[in-house]
């Protein structure tokens, strides 16, 4: 899960949370505290958890409204700046499996 095929050792959810926040801060040019707030607010936290844990959930969309917000729902109209995370494939039995692999893509609108 690391760079160049390097395997990550530790809690996969911690790694994925850090990975997500890094992408959000970089794309929105916001403070890390804003990304942290998004991951724990009552609207976004369950959506982020669903994206990581539900194999059927293939997308997570992050936008500023005006606070950073995450959703797994289809967005009718993109906001001024939108960040979309897509699961290209998920192999294994959940994120906590030692054989689990997750291929993610991220793009910004």
Written as one string, the DSSP assignment of 74-94 is PPSS--SSEEEEEEEEEESSS
pLDDT at 61: 93
Q: Each residue of 36-66: pLDDT tens digit? A: 999 999 999 999 999 988 888 989 999 988 8
pLDDT at 1 over 50: no
Number of domains in the chain: 1
Sign of the CA dihedral 98, 99, 100, 103?
A: positive
Average pLDDT, the chain: 80
Q: Global pTM?
A: 0.76
The residue range of the domain holding 45 is 3-108
């Amino acid at each position: 899960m690391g760079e160049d095929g390097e395997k990550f050792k530790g809690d996969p959810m911690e790694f994925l949370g850090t990975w997500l926040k890094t992408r959000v801060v970089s794309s929105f040019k916001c403070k890390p505290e804003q990304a942290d707030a998004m991951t724990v607010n009552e609207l976004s936290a369950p959506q982020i958890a669903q994206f990581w844990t539900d194999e059927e959930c293939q997308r997570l969309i992050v936008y500023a409204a005006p606070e950073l917000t995450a959703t797994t729902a289809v967005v009718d109209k993109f906001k001024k700046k939108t960040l979309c995370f897509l699961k290209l494939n998920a192999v294994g039995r959940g994120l906590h499996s030692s054989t689990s692999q997750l291929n993610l893509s991220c793009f910004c609108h």
